[in-house]
Structure 1
Amino acid sequence: MFDYRARVLDAELSERLTSIGAVLIDGPKGCGKTETALQQAKSSVRFDTDPNARALLGLNPDELFDQETPILFDEWQRAPEIWDQVRRHVDDLRRRGLYILTGSATPRYERELHSGAGRIGTLRMRPMSLFESGHSTGEVSLAALLRGEDQQAKRTAMTVPGLMERIVIGGWPALLDQSERTARGWLADYLAQVVDIDIPELGTGKRTPDRLRRALASLGRSVGTAIKVTALGADIAGDDHRAPAKETVNSYLDALDRLKLTENSPAWKPQMRSRTELREAPVRYFVDPSLGTAALQVGSRDLLADIEAAGFHFEAMAVRDLRIYAQPLGGAMYSWRESHGRKEVDAIVDTPDGWAAFEVKLTGDQNVIDSAAKGLLHFATDVDASKHGNPSALVVVTATGGGGKRTDGVHVLPISALGP
């Protein structure tokens, strides 16, 4: 029997259904959208597997709505006409919590659709965080950190090899209890379908599968960096010295974004006390760290053999989890980097009620942690508090061990204790 694993989004969806007529759950395929929606839907229509439903939409759409609400319209982008039908029914019925839509791609006719503002709310769903998959105790609350509360964590059982395995397996519900070998096969098939089927189905022009695969690998190599489009193009070219045009690279990035497979951290540009010139390029991430390692065809042993590269993929996992925990708080994720210097902050969580800064360090070396804490403190003093307020928390996220608040005010906390 299927055992549903609770998601952070459950409470968000429940709350949103009390305030608006319909809710769209947006996210990559395989992240659990349908099962999460089914926990609260009373009836469902599956556009990806039911051709009769798609036909009925053109013949007698009202029949699809003659069911107990909330009605789930699964993979709505397969039948984009349902969007305007949902809008109309919300307008006509003037009730809340009527419909849930799920989708794993932006439809090609998006510009032709009417706005759902005020009628259809949107929730972003991602693969599971470590807390959701059962690999974090969750004893450290991001919400509490953002309230300015001190947090402590007992030493967790997670090891660095174990974390490398979680990076490679990822947060996909289908892989919860699977081995790394099985997960790598599943993810190889996943990316093959992205290249061979999903991107062509977007209908935005011809693309070479080999170059698409190289683009995925290039993004895997540049995870956690603000690599420019021109540099990506050169990396995609490889040894053939024929870099794709900038427009072509942008089309690759747009396709991955429309499939919800990438999620970048834009630059945070606060008012600074010093005249620091800040980098404006976004830091690039896959929606789940496993996509980066799968694109590179590397496993946990490979990561352990290259700790520097592993650090970037570990950062990607931490950023994924912070995004998931921050979303219910109305939080947005940013990065901060100087244009001509080595100073940077891996993650800024900015909410309506406060902000927090995070540095992510795979190593447990005390000198590295001390340096990260010092960098966070220097950064915080340089942000104009009269414009942005003081940070609610400064945090160094580590791989293993316990944690708490240091005498300098910086928290040092293991990723396997973080939760919402």
Structure 2
Amino acid sequence: MEYLPRAVDRVLDELMEDAAAISLDGAKGVGKSGTALRRADHAWFLDDPDQAMQLQADPRFISAPEGTLLLDEWQLDPPIWDSVRRRVDEGAPAGRFLLTGSASPASARGTHSGAGRILSLHMRPMALHERRGAATTVRLADLMAGDAEIAGRSSWSLADYVDAIVASGFPGIASGPARSIGRQLDSYLARIIDRGIPDLGASVRRPQTFRRWLAAYAAASSTTTSHAKILETAASEDGSRPAKTTAIAYRDHLAQLWVLDEVPAWEPFRVSLGRISQSPKHQLVDPALAARALGLSSSALLSARGAHMIGPLFESLATLSVRAAAQVVDGRVGHLRSRNGDREVDLVVEGPDGRVVAFEVKLSTTVRDDDVRHLLWLRRQLRDDVADLVVLTTGEAAYRRPDGVAVIPLALLGH
């Protein structure tokens, strides 16, 4: 399978120059192994019993060859994490260990956090600008620097964006025949139930109940809907629904597997914006999973039946792209919403220097004054801390409005 360059490539190469051990984390299938293998001199796959046994027999890596060692799916043998941490303490050279895992270190019971020894780098499915045929003209790095040239034209239509939503950012799924993508996404969801969650030491006793809850969560994509409301939505036709404790367990397990990828609330440190909501914005790791959980194909999203979800899932796609690009500039991504809901900014990227680029995501080809009022309000509050303001659209041209807000078709945004 052809390797498509990822935004995380640049970050990983920079980290390997200084760090002895790096954990490339993320959901199953996002491409961690493919990215790591391009940099590894030797690889051990912990899902191979023979290779796992070999590592268990040599936890100090005494017989391991020189160079970069890849330990793939390390969470299947959690003591490996602590072995690597100890080798770092003993002076392992830069770039010695790469670990890839489909569960967070916190889910591996008994392991040390590795803080200060093992750097963690989160990898997500392919953003729009990482997929085949991408032709971007505006870089997030330039927006963060405050000197971006806003130009370019996109040939993408609404139907193209919808196709991108359902096509998936998982490399192994997206590279297959279009007719099989839905089946592969079904298999992905099934493997969460029969393999992913059991690997965490838990189980899903009622798969249909889990699927109803997951569909309810997917329906809340790009919103701050309360978990209690999501639980109500998960009720079956006879009124039965998961217990609250069960729903909490679902959330915890899917977060540990990186399948839930909520956008945290953002609040500036240097300026008070009043009463800000601390509720995260709900997102699944890939908008294609959300669409599949809801039974929505591209044609359904473009029909009356799926019209209510096309906007939220377009925002999910935009969120995936902004998050991937933000890693290159070491930016943290959040959303902003006042407690009473009168002020809301879809995405805020904050750089290491405290300056921000704020985004509104609009499922439209046109942008009116009312669409930018929250962005302009934020600029009045933060003043010089705002590097740029952006509306991401489905339009054709990238341009800057007279009020300074950049209007950028999502297909033109890169890292």
- Fold shared by both chains (TM-score > 0.5): yes
Task: Give the Cα–Cα distance (whole angstroms) in 1 for the partners of residues 142 and 408 of structure 2.
Answer: 13
- Deviation, 1:64, is 7.4
Q: Quote how far apart the aligned CAs of 1:342 are.
A: 4.2
Instruction: Name the residue aligned to 1:12.
Output: 11
> How does 1:94-133 map onto structure 2 within 5 Å?
94-106=92-104, 110-133=108-131
TM-superposition CA deviations, 1:170-192 (whole Å, max 9, x none): 21111344444321111111111
State the aligned residue count: 412
Residues 390/89 of structure 1: CA separation in 2 closer, same or farther (3 Å cut): closer
Q: Counterpart in 2 of 1:181?
A: 179
More deviation, 180-189/121-130: 180-189
Distance between the aligned counterparts of 2:204 and 2:182, measured in 1? 28
For the Cα contact (< 8 Å) 1:202–1:255, is it kept in 2?
Answer: yes
Percent identity for Structure 1 against Structure 2:
36
Q: Which residue of 2 aligns with 1:380?
A: 379
In 2: Cα distance, 1:278 partner to 1:209 partner: 37
Describe the superposition over 1:104-153 as per-residue Cα deviations: whole angstroms up to 9, x where unpaired: 11368634112312221110001111111134322100010011113223
Tell me which of 57, 65, 83 is aligned to 1:59: 57
Unaligned residue ranges in structure 2 (runs of 5+) = none
Per the alignment, residue 248 of structure 2 pairs with 250
The residue aligned with 1:320 is 320
Q: Is the 8 A contact 2:366 2:395 kept in 1?
A: no
Asked if 1:418 corresponds to 2:407, the answer is: no
Instruction: Report the equivalent of 2:266.
Output: 268
**Counterparts of 1:272 and 1:311 in 2: how far apart (Å)?**
33
Q: Distance in 2 between matches of 1:246 and 1:380?
A: 40
Q: CA deviation at 1:380?
A: 2.3
Say if 1:126 and 1:65 are closer, same or farther in 2 by CA, change over 3 A. farther
Structure 1 residues 274 and 113: CA distance shift in structure 2, 3 A: closer
Kindly indicate whether residue 323 of structure 2 is the aligned counterpart of residue 297 of structure 1.
no
How far is 1:205 from its partner?
A: 5.3
CA contact (8 A) 1:334 1:348 kept: yes
Partners in 2 of 1:180 and 1:298 — Cα distance? 15
Tell me how far apart the structure 1 counterparts of residues 212 and 66 of structure 2 sit (CA, whole Å).
47
What is the correspondence of 1:334-353 to structure 2 with a 5 Å cutoff?
A: 334-353=334-353
Tell me: CA distance 1:134–1:64, structure 2 relative to 1, closer, same or farther (3 Å): farther
Contact 2:4-2:132 at 8 Å conserved across structures: no
Q: Secondary structure at the match of 1:237?
A: coil
* Cα distance between partner residues in 2 of 1:288 and 1:239: 28
User: Contact 1:56/1:64 (CA < 8 Å) preserved in 2?
Assistant: no
Counterpart of 2:226?
228
Residue identity in the other structure for 1:392: A
**AA matched with 1:339:** R
Correspondence for 2:166: 168
Q: Note if contact 2:193-2:203 (Cα within 8 Å) is conserved in structure 1.
A: no
Q: Could you tell me how far apart the structure 1 residues matched to 2:297 and 2:279 are? A: 29
Query: How big is the shift at 1:270?
Result: 3.3
* Superposition RMSD in Å: 2.0
In the superposition, relative to structure 1, how do residues 109 and 124 fare at CA in structure 2: closer, same or farther (>3 Å)? closer
1:396 maps to: 391
Give, as a single letter, the amino acid of the residue that structure 2 aligns with 1:60.
Answer: D
